[in-house]
Amino acid sequence: MLITVQKEIVRATMKRQPVKNETSTDFFIGYDEQDIPFLILPTAPGLLLEDECYGISFQRDEFNPYKYHLDTHIAPVDLNRIRMFIDHLAFFFGPDHNMLNSYLQASGYQAYVCWSEKKQGEMIRETLMKYGSVSTKDEKKRYSDLLSQLLGS
């Protein structure tokens, strides 16, 4: 039951367009079935399935089992495969989330924000074109629903 509530909180918080000036307090870490922690990233609605967000796995330091490093690959994370979510980020990112704040200002995350904005814009344009080319009410409703999802409304 608790994991269901946690998943809904994460989904409600993270299913949004990422922005260049993120605040570190809006992030979560999720542990998958193999106890691999993932930093869950804001994911524009419509880019992935409803129960997916982009994320980055943490890699354990081979010489210090209490030290983790963020991987460099951003990949889809199925929220249904996460067994626990936490929002206490100090263990991974230090006091005041200093290392997360540094990551959010770094070129890798900023490139992710730009890519996400571009990808969402492309999907909106494609959906509008498809909406204009269909004639049945069912098809129009399908594209209308997709547009609502992409626009976050």
Task: Read off the pLDDT of residues 14-54 as tens digits, 9 standing for 90 and up.
Answer: 999 999 999 998 899 999 999 999 999 999 988 999 999 99
Sheet holding 28-32, edge to edge: 68-78, 52-60, 37-40, 28-32, 82-86
Q: 66-90 pLDDT, tens per residue?
A: 888 899 899 999 999 999 999 989 8
Provide mean pLDDT across the span 134-148: 87
User: Cβ neighbours of residue 132 under 8 Å, at least 6 residues apart?
Assistant: none
Q: What pLDDT, on a 0 to 100 scale, did the predictor assign at position 143? A: 86
Helix (H, G, I), strand (E, B) or coil at 61: coil
- Indicate whether 121 pLDDT > 80: yes
Question: What residue spans of 15-106 are helical by DSSP H?
Answer: 90-93, 98-105
Q: What pLDDT, on a 0 to 100 scale, did the predictor assign at position 85? A: 96
Q: What pLDDT, on a 0 to 100 scale, did the predictor assign at position 153? A: 55
Q: What pLDDT, on a 0 to 100 scale, did the predictor assign at position 5? A: 93
| Average of per-residue pLDDT values in the chain | 91
Report d(CA 6, CA 31) in Å as an integer: 12
Q: What pLDDT, on a 0 to 100 scale, did the predictor assign at position 31? A: 96
